[in-house]
Amino acid sequence: MKVWALTEGPVREGKYLVVRRDGTTPPWPHFVMAAADPCTPKALRAYQRAARDQGFDSDFRALSQALAEADPDQR
């Protein structure tokens, strides 16, 4: 397995192109989690706990929890 974001060459941003709604790509490092990845639910739950500890909006936290519990085919 390869972490594409850490590769050298013409595609430095990684395997996936992350684009914001305004069509720009974020200048900061990013990481894409696949719905089919068996580690994704656990990672999303950890993210939800960290978001709670940081005081993030409760609706945002609820969304990350719902994604963690969703059927992989529906994420």
Question: What distance in Å separates the CA atoms of residue 28 and residue 9, rounded to the nearest whole number?
Answer: 18
Question: What distance in Å separates the CA atoms of residue 35 and residue 28, rounded to the nearest whole number?
Answer: 22
How far is CA 59 from each of CA 10, 17, 19, 49, 64, rounded to the nearest angstrom? Answer: 39, 26, 23, 13, 9
pLDDT given at position 54: 93
* Residue 32 token pair: 């894409």
> In this predicted model, what pLDDT tens digit does every residue of 21-74 receive, in sequence order?
999 988 887 778 888 888 888 998 898 889 899 999 988 888 888 888 877 665
pLDDT given at position 1: 46
* Residue 38 token pair: 């068996």
> In this predicted model, what pLDDT tens digit does every residue of 4-21 receive, in sequence order?
555 566 555 566 778 889
